[in-house]
Homo-oligomer: A and B are copies of this chain.
């Protein structure tokens, strides 16, 4: 039943971080964005600083130690802000969230908006994820591009970016907001923590803080299992159309 488009609202708490680097991770290819941003929150001990609300967000609450939390959250400290989604985004939500994040970044005079994600790679799939995944970078800013390339990111010669990160890039460009998208070569069928480690390494060309990715690689199998389970549960919720469980239908 139709109504006016639900707004996406960014609800911040605490003092504002000025001129931040905003790092964004949502679950797309290889769940690279979600894994990388969760790891950054943990390693950098970022504080909870708000959440994103909308009727478009799936009907899900994430529970940790009996306390419920929102599925799309904001964390931050010392000039770094992480926006992390633990739920898949519908097409409309991904459009609206990209639009909202871009204008919010502009309003906060963000230094850069960094999108972290994966790029499906047949090669990586076939080698069973053996080698270190490469990272390609796309940016609307030359300086930023040079920074991440100095840390090992390769140029993206020809191709397309799709989904949430395409919209984020588009709205940042429209709003004249510096944006860089880092895409780690990723397995197709599984969450890929190694690809997440690679994009975090490339990130060192932009943010002032050093993040050690060894623990991420070590607990790789563990993270893969955990992320996959979370994703399956939230996916179910996202695709549910309401009503009693299937057994009674």
Contacts and interface: CB of A to CB of B under 8 A. Distances in A.
A136 B65 CA distance: 11
Contact of A163 (B27, B230, B242): B242
Contacts of A155: 65-66
A53 B75 CA distance: 32
Given A238-B243, A242-B89, A140 B29 contact: no
A91 B162 contact: no
Interface in A46-72: 53, 55-56, 58-68, 70
A70 to B, nearest CB: 7
A162 B243 CA distance: 12
A228 B140 CA distance: 27
B66 A244 contact: no
Contacts of A55: 1, 95
Interface stretch (A106-114, A165-173, A202-210): A165-173
A126 to B, nearest CB: 16
Contacts of A174: 53
Interface stretch (A3-11, A17-25, A35-43, A212-220): A3-11
Given A1-B5, A2-B5, A59-B166, 10 more contacts: A1-B3, A59-B91, A60-B166, A68-B138, A88-B244, A162-B240, A164-B242, A188-B247, A190-B247, A239-B249
Interface of A: 1-6, 27-31, 53, 55-56, 58-68, 70, 88-95, 120, 136-140, 145, 155-164, 166-167, 169-170, 173-174, 181, 188-190, 228, 230-245, 247-249
